[in-house]
Amino acid sequence: MKTIKFLFITVLSLSALTSCSSDDDTPEAVNEEEIITTVRLELTSASGDVVVLQSQDLDGDGPDAPDFSTEGTILADTEYTGNIQFLNELENPAEDITEEVLEEGVDHQVFYTFTTNNANSSVTYTDIDADGNPIGLSTTFNSGTTSTGNILVVTLRHEPTKSADGVSTGDITNAEGATDANVTFTYNVN
């Protein structure tokens, strides 16, 4: 009898446990904080002409590929002041990650690599970090000759070896570190 009672209590308490339900809390949406959705290279000429090359991926690691867009026209044999911006547009208002890159300048460097350079364009660094090495947020862009199909690859590296051979002049080969952004801009020079 005692046995049966004991078993009965056991089964009862088990069923009580399994039937208890949870509170239906709706989770909070997370807007990715550090993800870079947008890389925006703004080129300003001495005469005030502005050209913008932009790569934007609003679904982050989602399936949609980044959108590439160009505003304005790059003129031949013109020197532009280049400013690059890294934005997280998943946040509202958009977060400007460029500021963090600047603050931690010694741990970051932006590389500009031409994979197709019919124009013979060039980019030179105009900023330095606390150790006197370039960061690459501010640059001078020389457009070169009239041409089409030029390809510029912009890479933001975290913790590169800035002292390695060629790195301070913008050669990515020995830079190492981890890639935070890697976008490809195609442009024409008119």
Partner 1 sequence: MKSIIIGLVIAISSFSYSQNCNYIFLGELKDFHDGTPIESATIYQKESGKYAFSDLDGKFKIENLCAGTLTLTISHANCDTKTVSFEINGDTFKTILIEHHIEELKEVSVIAHVDQKETKTAQETVLKELTLKKYSALSIGDALKEVAGVSSINTGSSIVKPMINGMHSSRLIMLNNNVRLQDQDWGIEHAPNMDINAVSQISVIKGAGALAYGGDAIGGVIVTNPERVFLKDTLFGKTTLSGQSNGRGYSANTKLSKYTKKGWFASIQGSLKQNGDFETPDYVLTNTGSNSKGFTFRGGKQNFESGFEVFYSYLNNEIGILKASHIGNIGDLVSAINSLEPLVIEDFSYDIDAPKQDVTHQLAKAMYYKRFNNFGKVNLQYDFQNNQRFEYDIRVGDDRDKAALDLKLQTHTLSSDIVLDAFSDYKLKFGIMGRYQNNFANPDTGVRRLIPDYDKYDFGVYATTEHNLNSKMTLDFGLRYDFNRIDAKKFYFTSRWEERGYDEDFSDLIIDDLGTQLLANPVFDYHNFSVSTGFNYQLNERHSFIGNYSLSSRPPNPSELFSDGLHHSAARIELGDLRLTKETSNRVSASYIYNSKQFNLTAEAFYNHINDYMFIEPTGIEQTIRGAFPVWEYLQTNAELYGIDLSANYNFNAHFNFSNKTSFTVGNDIENDRPLINIPAFNTRNSITYTNDWKQFSASLTSDWTFEQTKYPDNNFETYIASIDETVLVDVSTPPSAYQLLNFYSEVTLKTSDKTNLNIALSVNNLLDTNYRAYLNRLRYFADDMGRNIMLQLQYNY
Interface residues toward partner 1, by CB under 8 A: 2-3, 6-7, 10-11, 13-15, 17-18, 20, 22, 25-39, 55, 57-66, 90, 97, 99-101, 103-104, 107-108, 111, 113, 115-116, 151, 153, 155, 157-159, 172-173, 176-184
What DSSP line would sit under 143-167, residue for residue?
A: --SSEEEEEEEEEEEES--TTSTTG
Give me the least distance between CB of 13 and partner 1, in Å please: 6
Q: How far is the CB of 119 from partner 1 (least distance, A)?
A: 16
Query: Least Å distance between CB 146 and partner 1?
Result: 22
Fill in the DSSP letter of residue 65.
P
Quick one: 79 or 103, whose CB is closer to partner 1? 103
Minimum Å gap between C-beta 6 and partner 1 is: 6
Cβ atoms 181, 39 nearer than 8 A: yes
User: CA quadruple 151, 35, 167, 106: dihedral positive or negative?
Assistant: positive
Separation of alpha carbons 105 and 139, rounded Å: 15
Is the CB of 120 or the CB of 190 nearer to partner 1? 120
Are 136 and 124 in contact by the 8 Å Cβ rule? The answer is no
